[in-house]
Amino acid sequence: MTVPDHVARPGAAPAVACTGLVVRFGATTALDGVDLVVRPGELVAVTGHSGAGKSTLLSVVAGIVTPDAGEVLVDGRRVGGVVAAGVAEAVAAGVALIPQGNGLAAMLTARENVLVPLLARGVAAAHAPARADAALDAVGLGEVFSHLVEELSGGQQQRVAVARALALDCRVLLADEPTSELDHTNREVVLRLLRARASQGAAVVMATHDPEAAAAADRVVHLDDGVLTTP
Ligand SMILES: Nc1ncnc2c1ncn2[C@@H]1O[C@H](COP(=O)(O)OP(=O)(O)OP(=O)(O)O)[C@@H](O)[C@H]1O
């Protein structure tokens, strides 16, 4: 799909610029010289077989994994260059992550899970609850915001994780398999919300095995054993 100029702004400075990323886990090379540029307004899908390196790529951009070589710039700021500082750098640069397996606190309510990162990022306590509720409403979970996460279905939990990231004012949204637990209707809801966030000017990078999700992207890039190709 061609990205409309007014959305992707081809001349705009990259929101994410990965250059020569190499990540090794022991004998495994998870990323092998990955170059990727994502501009504000783009929704990019990263496909590839299980173990191809998709989550590793998102984790490097999120500052969770420090690359063995190469660098990530978010809005021109280096992320993950210093061990253990990466996550703080990514957060400061406006990166939000929907992690694979959702990463929610099971003993907190859906609403508390969305609230905590808002408060941690400095949103005023007077405004944060309304923002959390609006995000949960957007993913169709307004009725269960006071339920503990452990009481929710897998698909509901995944939508809480989506709401948690969408509630943040992010410039870069990383979504790791954000539709893997969802039925058709909820998949469409989540894909529409990711698209809307891109239309508002964020760069959205989504790792996915889901052909429907990949088809909704402006651009698909493919990872094959840590090497990025464009299909
Ligand atoms: N923390 C880790 N320690 C050791 N090996 C790891 C670690 N994280 C990932 N790997 C390895 O790196 C490779 C890439 O894994 P990654 O999770 O990035 O793949 P993926 O494409 O996201 O897979 P999936 O689609 O199954 O989620 C795999 O061989 C995996 O076993």
Q: Output DSSP code: residue 109.
A: B
CATH code for the domain in which residue 22 is found: 3.40.50.300
Q: Which atom of ligand 1 is nearest to the CA of 57?
A: 18
Taking CA atoms only, the protein residue closest to ligand 1 atom 3 is 25
- CA 56, CA 10: separation in Å to the nearest integer? 26
Q: Output DSSP code: residue 142.
A: G
Taking CA atoms only, the protein residue closest to ligand 1 atom 18 is 53
Half-sphere exposure of 141 (CA within 13 A, CB side): 32
Q: Tell me how crowded residue 84 is: count the other CB atoms within 10 A of its CB.
A: 9
128 within some domain:
no
231 within some domain:
yes
Half-sphere exposure of 54 (CA within 13 A, CB side): 25
Taking alpha carbons only, the member of 65, 63, 49, 72 closest to residue 208 is 49
119 within some domain:
no
- Classify burial at 52, counting beta carbons within 10 Å of its beta carbon; exposed 0-12, middle 13-18, buried 19 or more: buried
Q: Give per-residue pLDDT as tens, 34-69.
A: 999 999 999 999 999 999 999 999 999 998 899 999
Q: Residue 224: which domain range?
A: 1-93+206-231
- CA 27, CA 146: separation in Å to the nearest integer? 45
Taking CA atoms only, the protein residue closest to ligand 1 atom 17 is 55
Distance 224 CA to ligand 1 centre (A): 12
Does the pLDDT value for residue 167 go beyond 80?
A: yes
116 within some domain:
no
Q: Which atom of ligand 1 is nearest to the CA of 226?
A: 14
- CA 129, CA 112: separation in Å to the nearest integer? 9
Distance 134 CA to ligand 1 centre (A): 34
158 within some domain:
no
34 within some domain:
yes
Q: Kindly provide the ipTM of the predicted complex, given to two decimals.
A: 0.98
Does the pLDDT value for residue 3 go beyond 70?
A: no
Q: Give per-residue pLDDT as tens, 176-230.
A: 999 999 999 999 999 999 999 999 999 999 999 999 999 999 999 999 999 999 8
How many folded domains does the chain comprise?
Answer: 1
133 within some domain:
no
- CA 17 distance to own-chain centroid: 15
